[in-house]
Amino acid sequence: MKKYRYKKNYRTKKKKIIFSIFLSRFFWLGLLIFVILGVIFYFVIFSSFFQTKQVNISGNEKISAEDIKIIIRKGLEKKFLFFSTKSIFLINLNKIKEEILSSFPRIAGIEIKRKLPNILDINVVEKLAIAVFCFARPNFDEQNLGGQEEKCFLLDSEGVIFEETQPRNDLIRLTDKQKVETILGKNVIKKDYLDKVLKIQKEVLKELKLEIKEFTIFKERLNAKTADGWEIYFNPQKDLDWQLTELVLVLKEKIPLEKRGNLEYIDLRFEKIYIFPAIS
């Protein structure tokens, strides 16, 4: 009998507890918050209002906007709870940015912004070419067995090649006699070395009104070819300022314009300056 009363009392108490929970305002408040969050979640993730519908691309000149959009579209659609969504909030902007940069070596930088409710704004900064970088690679075709084929690329200020090209008159030319293979988007010349090349071109033009359009790179020698056809040999490992100062003095004091007709080279790599042929 006591056992029966115990079970009955337990059930009664259990019903009262459940009933009191349903009467509690905290329960209904919590339930209301849960429902609201669920509605917001559905609205944000699956509602057509926030599904990405437009991609705006600006700043591109050489690169096709449609080619960029192809990569972006691959990163728009996501799977969530077995459903597909293009919610603008779920787009991994960093991943899309990395894929675009790796796919287009010409792009120097990119900015991607969400423009609510359903637009992506993408601003592209393309690289500026400061030189044409050329190198020789083996050519094993039937007409030129064992020969070499020259390949040229646009070079940016960081020493990275980003597009194959032909030699151009509006850009200086750098020819590397050692490099035989390279890949777009890779660094082919150290920035500090490239800065020395640009400094030589700038200072020689400024101080001597002498135009240099072509440089040839060796391991320990940098040849600068003037517009008149003769060359200047620099040592990029030594003090460049000293070499430039000596060049200015030699050309201004010893080799004026009227004596440069037969000049072949000026060698600045050593303590003594060598001129060929010797100027009397």
Structural domain boundaries of the chain?
51-126, 131-276
pLDDT at 101 over 50: yes
Q: How confident is the model at residue 105 (pLDDT cuts 50, 70, 90)?
A: very high
Of 108, 123, 180, nearest in space to 151 by CA: 180
pLDDT at 165: 93
Q: Write down the pTM of the prediction.
A: 0.76
- Given pLDDT bands bounded at 50, 70 and 90, which one contains residue 6? very low
pLDDT band at residue 279 using 50, 70 and 90 as cut-offs:
confident
- Taking a C-beta distance cutoff of 8 angstroms, is the pair 150, 134 a contact? yes
Low-confidence winner among 34-48, 64-78, 106-120, 122-136 (lowest mean pLDDT): 34-48
What's the pLDDT score for residue 168?
Answer: 86
Residue 1 confidence (pLDDT)? 47
pLDDT of 156 > 60? The answer is: yes
Q: What is the pLDDT of residue 133?
A: 95
pLDDT higher than 50, residue 247: yes
The answer to whether the beta carbons of residues 144 and 173 sit under 8 Å apart is no
Q: Which amino acid is it at 271?
A: E
- At the second CATH level, the architecture of 131-276 is 3-Layer(aba) Sandwich (3.40)
Q: Which CATH class is domain 51-126?
A: alpha beta
- Among 196, 255, 197, 258, residue whose Cα is nearest residue 225: 197
pLDDT at 37 over 90: no
Average pLDDT over residues 208-227: 92
Question: What is the per-residue pLDDT for 126?
Answer: 95
Tokens standing for residue 39: 């509605």
Using the predicted structure, report yes or no on whether residue 280 has a pLDDT greater than 70. Answer: no
CA-wise closest residue to 65 among 130, 128, 117, 120? 120
Mean pLDDT of the chain: 84
pLDDT the model gives residue 10: 47
150-158 CB contacts, 8 Å cutoff, 24+ apart: 153/182, 153/184, 153/188, 154/127, 154/129, 155/129, 155/130, 155/131, 155/188, 155/189, 155/194, 156/108, 156/127, 156/128, 156/129, 156/130, 157/128, 157/130, 157/191, 157/194, 158/187, 158/191
List phi, psi (to 5°) of 194.
Answer: -60, -40
